[in-house]
Chains A and B, each alone.
Chain A
Amino acid sequence: AQSVTQPDIHITVSEGASLELRCNYSYGATPYLFWYVQSPGQGLQLLLKYFSGDTLVQGIKGFEAEFKRSQSSFNLRKPSVHWSDAAEYFCAVGEDNQAGTALIFGKGTTLSVSS
């Protein structure tokens, strides 16, 4: 069965410092991978996605992620964190059933930004 592991429940980063959020997945075939962000009281917003091709994908808000098949990882990075990045981040893997992609989410990582 597919699964997603986000090892870090909570991370605190200083404003302006770099960020890396870890994500490991378990999936038999080529995965569809996503990172979503959820601000308090809000829905989920797609940051970036990987389907195939270039293993380094760029997303919105200055985020990027790298797909590493050998490590079954899809870590999210940002070179310089802003206070507004404080939120909960979810990694997800999708299974294509020819009509869409039902997502399996990790438990999430809460990011706090200190000044």
Chain B
Amino acid sequence: DSGVTQTPKHLITATGQRVTLRCSPRSGDLSVYWYQQSLDQGLQFLIQYYNGEERAKGNILERFSAQQFPDLHSELNLSSLELGDSALYFCASSPLRTSGRYEQYFGPGTRLTVT
């Protein structure tokens, strides 16, 4: 158990809909990352938040957005869903270390199926 929790575990929805995925980082971790894992694209970095602010952006679609709240939990919002958005979405967190060298701890993922 990494200490990172994600809800829900599974999500089935229809095209055009909007969903919200939730992540709670490990206690004390300030950075939260979102990744998408799909068969064709593999594991891709989407976005990172650090202490409530967006810090880095990867291959995140404009239909997707995220935020990190004062209690440090994060939500990933996916809208106007398409079949191709079906994937496993991971959240990871990392601590703050002055050395600037970090490792990430991954949650169990949310499997999204768009029908």
Complex contacts, B42 vs chain A, CB 8 Å: 105-108
Complex contacts, B90 vs chain A, CB 8 Å: 43-44
The listed residue (B4, B48, B106) touching A102 by CB distance below 8 A is: B48
The listed residue (B44, B55, B58, B108) touching A100 by CB distance below 8 A is: B55
- Contact between A100 and B106, CB atoms less than 8 A apart: no
* Cα A97 to Cα B96 with chains together (Å): 12
- Contact between A100 and B109, CB atoms less than 8 A apart: no
* Cα A49 to Cα B104 with chains together (Å): 10
- Contact between A102 and B107, CB atoms less than 8 A apart: no
A80 CB, nearest partner CB in chain B, Å: 26
Complex contacts, A101 vs chain B, CB 8 Å: 94, 101-104
* Cα A97 to Cα B54 with chains together (Å): 12
Given contacts A99-B56, A101-B104, could you give 14 more A-B pairs where the C-beta distance is less than 8 Å?
A43-B2, A43-B90, A43-B109, A45-B2, A46-B103, A49-B103, A90-B43, A99-B48, A100-B48, A100-B56, A100-B94, A102-B33, A102-B45, A102-B48
Residue numbers of B with Cβ under 8 A of A are 2, 4, 30-31, 33, 35, 42-45, 48, 50-51, 55-56, 58, 90, 92, 94, 96, 100-109
